[in-house]
Amino acid sequence: MNPSNKSRNQSRVGDINSRLGVIASHLSSAYMASEKGAAVAATPSDSPTIFDKIINKEIPATIVYEDDKVLAFRDIAPQAPTHILLIPKVKDGLTGLSKAEERHSVILGHLLYTAKLVAKQEGLEDGFRIVINDGPSACQSVYHIHVHLLGGRQMNWPPG
């Protein structure tokens, strides 16, 4: 290949990558807009959430781990190749991390330990990220504490 063809091909690849970046940005913005809207519309309450319905097997979920205290299932709108939600089976007033009391220490520790087990089960030896959204400004849309386990790709920093 002569140098001028190589230069034109590199330019085309650059143009394609730039366009893909713009498309990804728009898709990401649309997703974030919908997440922000859902978070603003959500209100904390003791009413059953979608997670309670998943725990009670009233609606389907792809469950990847379950024990007597925690249920882990694949997120229906994954933000990484591996995106799993871990939830306590009993809410016990723990709608978000800011509502945690000393009595919740055991379940909070168990959620994180279970995230480690699930990460290993999912083959995330190279690393993973744990996220807990708390409140509308953090885009929490379901008021039943939950841990996001994300992996399978290089994460960026800062995350927000």
Residue 146 among the catalytic residues: yes
Nearest in space to 117 (alpha carbons), one of 94, 90, 149, 146: 149
DSSP, collapsed to helix, strand or coil, labels residue 59 as: coil
Nearest in space to 51 (alpha carbons), one of 31, 32, 71: 71
Contact 83, 61 (CB under 8 A): no
Backbone φ and ψ for 36, nearest 5 degrees, come out as: -65, -40
Residue among 26, 83, 104, 146 flagged as catalytic: 146
- Residues acting as catalytic residues: 146
